[in-house]
């Protein structure tokens, strides 16, 4: 920018429900001139030329053709997470704008969330919590019997960086690990976590006591787990989804849980998010639902912003972006 002015970074807001965290502002202002959507919309003529980068925080601001057309100097969009399914990547690329996500920052915290859901479901923590705080504190032993995790079989669908870290955690819990992935991991990587490759999802579903879904949402994975797949699972099995809600057919899942086709589900993602308050999933005792906790730890959230800044600065300086996402 002229006169050494910092490049403009468009963000949805600062603070609030859909704004970047106040605690990240000082760090971001070292590198950019922050422009909120409110400031941009109030003075489009002046602000439009200043914006060179955009930082999406929990999918906001919404990137559409109108916004892209109003930002002639936009060079890069950085997303605060891994999933890019909320973006029209081909549209963005047609404007010559690069894209980046933050895979390095999110894998450990997301893997922790997956294991937390597995353990909470296995030991029925939500149910027993409500029993414990109830006025009567009366229960039958059968009401609190859980599932033993050690020695159980975990099937991981999607063995990328997050899936692999889940396998590392599961090994520590003495679980047997199966996985299905588009490509098989190297033999030494499999041996390090004691994982066995399944060529088909069907084979994994039939054997697993816990099924963990850790895939990106694409046209190929939309409703990857549907009625047929659920019926392949053991009637005692638990489905855990930490990827995207639409990877699982929710109507089929409700039916499977109500009819005993599978034993339980633990979901960090749904569609929509949040679910309508009258949705049947919210009424089932054999379901745990969390509000897309995934990466939400103080350290991981700041690492995301650091990774986003690294990508943006690389793009603005004509350097390779560490986490560039190519349109598909």
pTM for the full predicted model: 0.82
Report residue 162 as tokens. 């997050």
pLDDT of the residue at 2: 47
pLDDT of the residue at 152: 98
31: exposed, middle or buried (Cβ count in 10 Å: 0-12, 13-18, 19+): middle
Q: What is the number of other CB atoms lying within 10 angstroms of the CB of residue 43? A: 12
Catalytic residue among 127, 292, 307, 310: 292
pLDDT of the residue at 286: 95
pLDDT of the residue at 221: 95
In tens, the pLDDT along 15-73 reads: 988 899 999 999 999 999 999 999 999 999 999 999 999 999 988 999 999 999 999 99
Report residue 42 as tokens. 């109030």
Whether the per-residue pLDDT at 3 is higher than 70: the answer is no
In tens, the pLDDT along 131-159 reads: 889 888 777 777 788 999 999 999 999 99
In tens, the pLDDT along 159-190 reads: 999 999 999 999 999 999 999 999 999 999 99
Q: What is the dihedral of CA 150, 208, 289, 19, to 10 degrees?
A: 100
**Comparing 81 with 317, which gets the higher pLDDT?**
317
Q: Rounded to the nearest 10 degrees, what angle do helices 22-29 and 298-316 cross at?
A: 30
For residue 292, indicate whether it is catalytic.
Answer: yes
For residue 174, indicate whether it is catalytic.
Answer: no
pLDDT of the residue at 327: 87
pLDDT of the residue at 158: 97
Average per-residue pLDDT in the chain?
94
In tens, the pLDDT along 290-310 reads: 999 888 888 888 999 999 999
Q: Determine if residue 38 is left, alpha or beta; phi over 0 gives left, psi from -120 to 50 gives alpha, anything else beta.
A: alpha
The whole-number average pLDDT for the span 117-144 is 88
CB-based burial, 151-184: b 16+ in 10 Å, e otherwise: ebbbbbbbbbbbbbbbbbbbbeeebbbbbbbeee
Report residue 22 as tokens. 């106040």
Distance CA 65, CA 20 (A): 23
Sequential DSSP letters for 279-296: -GGGG-TTEEE-SS-TT-
pLDDT of the residue at 131: 87
For residue 11, list its beta bridge partners.
36
pLDDT of the residue at 212: 98
pLDDT of the residue at 288: 97
C-alpha 215: how far from its chain's center?
Answer: 9
The whole-number average pLDDT for the span 120-132 is 93
For residue 244, indicate whether it is catalytic.
Answer: yes
From 71, 80, 66, 29, select the one nearest 53 (Cα to Cα).
71
Distance CA 146, CA 131 (A): 14
Catalytic residue among 169, 244, 307, 310: 244
Distance CA 250, CA 247 (A): 9
pLDDT of the residue at 295: 80
In tens, the pLDDT along 94-110 reads: 999 999 998 877 888 89
Q: Could you give phi then psi for residue 167, rounded to 5 degrees?
A: -60, -40
In tens, the pLDDT along 227-259 reads: 999 999 999 999 999 999 999 999 999 999 999
**1 confidence band (pLDDT: 50, 70, 90):** very low
């Amino acid at each position: 920018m002229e006169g050494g002015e910092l490049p403009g970074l468009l963000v949805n807001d600062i603070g609030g429900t859909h704004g970047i965290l106040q605690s990240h502002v000082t760090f971001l202002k070292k590198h950019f001139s922050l422009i909120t959507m409110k400031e941009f919309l109030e003075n489009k003529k002046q602000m439009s030329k200043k914006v060179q980068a955009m930082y999406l925080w929990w999918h906001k601001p919404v990137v559409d053709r109108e916004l892209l057309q109003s930002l002639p100097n936009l060079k890069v969009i950085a997303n605060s997470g891994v999933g890019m399914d909320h973006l029209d990547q081909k549209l963005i690329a047609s404007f010559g704008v690069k894209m980046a996500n933050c895979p390095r920052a999110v894998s450990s915290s997301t893997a922790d969330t997956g294991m937390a859901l597995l353990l909470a479901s296995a030991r029925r923590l939500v149910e027993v919590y409500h029993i414990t705080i109830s006025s009567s504190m009366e229960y039958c032993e059968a009401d609190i019997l859980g599932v033993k995790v050690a020695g159980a079989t975990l099937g991981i669908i999607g063995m990328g960086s997050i899936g692999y870290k889940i396998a590392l955690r599961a090994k520590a819990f003495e679980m047997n690990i199966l996985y299905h992935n588009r490509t098989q991991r190297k033999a030494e990587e499999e041996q390090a976590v004691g994982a066995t490759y399944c060529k088909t999802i069907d084979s994994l579903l039939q054997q697993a006591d816990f099924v963990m879904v850790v895939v990106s949402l694409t046209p190929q994975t939309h409703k990857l787990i549907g009625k047929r797949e659920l019926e392949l699972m053991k009637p005692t099995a638990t489905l855990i989804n930490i990827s995207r809600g639409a990877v699982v057919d929710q109507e089929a899942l409700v039916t499977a849980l109500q009819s005993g086709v599978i034993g339980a589900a633990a979901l960090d993602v749904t569609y929509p998010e949040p679910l309508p308050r009258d949705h049947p999933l919210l009424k089932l005792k054999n379901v745990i639902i969390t509000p897309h906790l995934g990466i939400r730890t103080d350290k991981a959230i700041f690492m995301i912003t650091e990774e986003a800044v690294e990508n943006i600065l690389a793009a603005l300086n004509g350097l390779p972006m560490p986490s560039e996402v190519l349109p598909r």
